[in-house]
Amino acid sequence: MAKALRVDPRDGVATLLHDALAGEVVTLGEGSDGDTLVLGADVGRGHKVALAPIAAGEPVVKYGFPIGTATQSIAPGAHVHSHNLKTGLGGTLAYRFDPVDTASAPSTSAKTFDGYVRADGSVGTRNEIWILSTVGCVARTAERIAAKAAALVGDSVDGVHAFTHPHGCSQLGQDLEGTRTIMASLACHPNAGGVLIVGLGCEENQIRALLAAIPASRHGMIRTLTTQASGDEIAEGCALVAELAGLAKAKRQTVGLDRLVLGVKCGGSDGLSGLTANPLVGRMSDRVTSAGGRVLVTEIPEIFGAEQMLMNRAASEPVFERIVEVVNDFKRYFLDHGETVSENPSPGNVVGGITTLEEKSLGAVQKAGRAAVADVIDYGARIRIDGLTLLEAPGNDAVSSTALAAAGATAILFTTGRGTPLGFPVPTIKIASNTDLATRKPGWIDFDAGAVLEDGFPATEEALLARIMQVASGAETAAERNGEREIAIWKRGVTL
């Protein structure tokens, strides 16, 4: 007998936990009092079935909120998806601040991790040398220096890594400023014990301007290399990395959960992401913020349809107004380029059971837990205060995860129902929404959130928190083992 889950008593649909065939009897969980229904069609795992008749034009409700409108009459037991459900999203909106109580008891967690305490009080989860390229022309040069220098410095640091990109020249205005700001913020990251900036010499993104965007207090652990002015840039680069490695020697110290900065992200979601992995990560967010730590959430286009939930959790009216500004600016960004704001979900999301952007967003915002939104920061900016911060960035996995790292996340919790090998500058913990994915792709996945369906949230929550503490203390993630470390920069302007 198949099983399905209704998240909220108000829901008109339930999500199947396993593939099921037409005529099969399905037992219903949460909020359904053990009811059953008979499927009217074959339905895949993560897809929705109707619990009662839904008339054409009526809202379809999941998570207690509308996820779109029925385009035809839907019978109980019928598959609810793209063929009979459409989005209700339009353009920009006028929002009203209707604050909700977000007060939570102080954390009593004694969880600790062994991190690198920096002079400015920040705490890194790694002690690495980062090589940052100012421009795409020296990307391979930076990678060659990293490979050769890593062999030279051995285990005196946790690693030597080059982070390259195709930008930095033929850019103007805000576009160039975005590239420079991201690179400057990465240069300030607590996981980087030392930073080598490799430039060409003639690019728009000049090293001098980049250094000016980095606090002077950080300059002592930064070295620069202009390759056009170097006789042997590889040898010179390796010598500079060796110098930085000597200066960056550090030992781990035991610190509390309040010293952690988490970035939360979802990629390749499926119909179970909003039932298992994302709410589980939301509990991690709450554990960190209630302990006095910091959490970053982003992917602005993937909160469309659920944005009011975050707006109502704004710590103040100015924070609320800033959320409104960021959301509507992003919607205008879509509309100005002739795209609808509801273009998401992606093909992989749809195959996994997600039908509309409202449905995807209502599942995605659960990663932010229940804490008040304490701050809103621009793309490329660094986190400023404790608590939950909303970061301006698109939904693209590589671009948004790079922005999370640049903002100061020392670990990223990355939920997925489809799987991806991608990794980013900081330890990226891949959390599968379903056990099948975790079993099939152990080389990609670090944690199986599908265990929630068998073991419940409390036990799975403790297991995930323990895993996060291990990674923060130096245990490798799957992406780190695989050498998957990438950055991507948001390209918004013209190219000369």
For residue 149, pLDDT beyond 80: yes
Instruction: Check residue 105 and give its pLDDT.
Output: 57
For residue 139, pLDDT beyond 80: yes
Instruction: Check residue 110 and give its pLDDT.
Output: 80
Mean pLDDT of 130-159: 97
The share of the chain scoring above pLDDT 70, in percent, equals: 98
Instruction: Check residue 93 and give its pLDDT.
Output: 85
In this structure, how many other beta carbons lie within 10 angstroms of the beta carbon of residue 338?
Answer: 6
Backbone angles phi, psi at 190, to 5 degrees: -65, -15
Asked if residue 293 lies in contact with residue 262, where contact means CB atoms within 8 angstroms, the answer is yes
Q: DSSP label at 351? A: H
Instruction: Check residue 238 and give its pLDDT.
Output: 98
Asked if residue 286 lies in contact with residue 370, where contact means CB atoms within 8 angstroms, the answer is yes
Asked if residue 447 lies in contact with residue 464, where contact means CB atoms within 8 angstroms, the answer is yes
Between CA 178 and CA 159 the distance in angstroms is: 27
Q: What is the pTM of this model?
A: 0.95
Task: Sort 366 into a burial class: Cβ within 10 Å, 0-12 / 13-18 / 19+.
Answer: buried
Instruction: Check residue 34 and give its pLDDT.
Output: 65
Between CA 448 and CA 435 the distance in angstroms is: 6
Instruction: Check residue 209 and give its pLDDT.
Output: 97
Between CA 407 and CA 268 the distance in angstroms is: 23
For residue 230, pLDDT beyond 70: yes
pLDDT per residue as tens digits for the range 355-364: 999 999 999 9
For residue 483, pLDDT beyond 70: yes
pLDDT per residue as tens digits for the range 98-131: 999 886 656 656 899 999 999 999 999 999 999 9
Tokens 């792709």 locate to: 441
How many residues are there in the chain?
Answer: 496
For residue 259, pLDDT beyond 80: yes
For residue 31, pLDDT beyond 60: no
The share of the chain scoring above pLDDT 90, in percent, equals: 91
Between CA 460 and CA 280 the distance in angstroms is: 8
Instruction: Check residue 91 and give its pLDDT.
Output: 85
Mean pLDDT of 33-53: 91
Contacts 24+ apart (CB under 8 A), 84-89: 85/60, 85/355, 85/356, 86/356, 87/305, 87/342, 87/356, 87/357, 87/358, 88/59, 88/305, 88/356, 88/358, 89/304, 89/305, 89/340, 89/341, 89/342, 89/356, 89/357, 89/358
Q: Taking Cα atoms as reference points, which of 238, 226, 135, 133 lies closest to residue 186?
A: 133
pLDDT per residue as tens digits for the range 267-308: 999 999 999 999 999 999 999 999 999 999 999 999 999 999
Q: Position 89: which residue type?
A: L
For residue 30, pLDDT beyond 90: no
Between CA 189 and CA 398 the distance in angstroms is: 18
Contacts with 486 (C-beta within 8 Å, 6 or more apart), sequence order: 163, 398, 402, 422, 423, 424
Instruction: Check residue 35 and give its pLDDT.
Output: 85
